Amino acid sequence: MPPFARTVTVRSPAKVNLQLAVGPRRLDGYHEVVSVFHAVNIFDEVVASDGIPGAGINVTMEGDGVEAVGVGEENLVFQAAKALGEYADVALDVNLHVRKDIPIAGGMAGGSADAAATLVACDALWRIGMGREELEKLAARLGADVTFALHGGTAIGTGRGENLTSALISGQYHWVFATSNEGLSTPEVYGECDRLREGRGIGDPQIREALMAGLRRGDPELVGPQLCNDLQVAAISLRPTLELVLETGMSFGALGGIVSGSGPTCAFLARDEDDALDIAAALSASGTCDSVRIATGPVHGARIVDSGTNGGSLLEST
Please write the tens of the pLDDT for every residue from 43-52.
Answer: 999 999 999 9
CA–CA dist 231, 202 (Å, integer): 13
Residue 245 CB: number of other CB atoms within 10 A?
A: 25
Catalytic residues: 15, 145
Per-residue pLDDT of 260-273, as tens digits, reads: 999 999 999 999 99
199 Rama sector, left if φ>0, alpha if ψ -120 to 50, beta otherwise: left
Which comes out higher in pLDDT, residue 316 or 4?
4
Q: Which residues of 180-215 are buried (b: 16+ CB within 10 A; e: fewer)?
A: beebbebeebbebbeeebeeeebeebeebeebbebb
Determine the distance from the C-alpha atom of residue 65 to the mean position of all C-alpha atoms in its chain, rounded to a whole number. 17
Residue 306 has pLDDT above 70, yes or no: yes
Query: For residue 298, is the peptide bond before it cis, meaning its omega torsion is within 30 degrees of 0?
Result: yes
Q: HSE (CB half, 13 Å, CA atoms) of 32? A: 10
CB 45 within 8 A of CB 11: yes
CA–CA dist 43, 12 (Å, integer): 5
CB 174 within 8 A of CB 141: no
Domains in the chain, start-ordered, CATH in brackets? 6-167 (3.30.230.10), 173-297 (3.30.70.890)
**pLDDT at residue number 118:** 98
Residue 281 has pLDDT above 80, yes or no: yes
Q: What percentage of the chain reaches a pLDDT higher than 70?
A: 95
CA–CA dist 149, 113 (Å, integer): 5
Per-residue pLDDT of 59-116, as tens digits, reads: 999 998 888 888 899 999 999 999 999 999 999 999 999 999 999 888 899 999 999 9
The DSSP call for residue 51 is: P
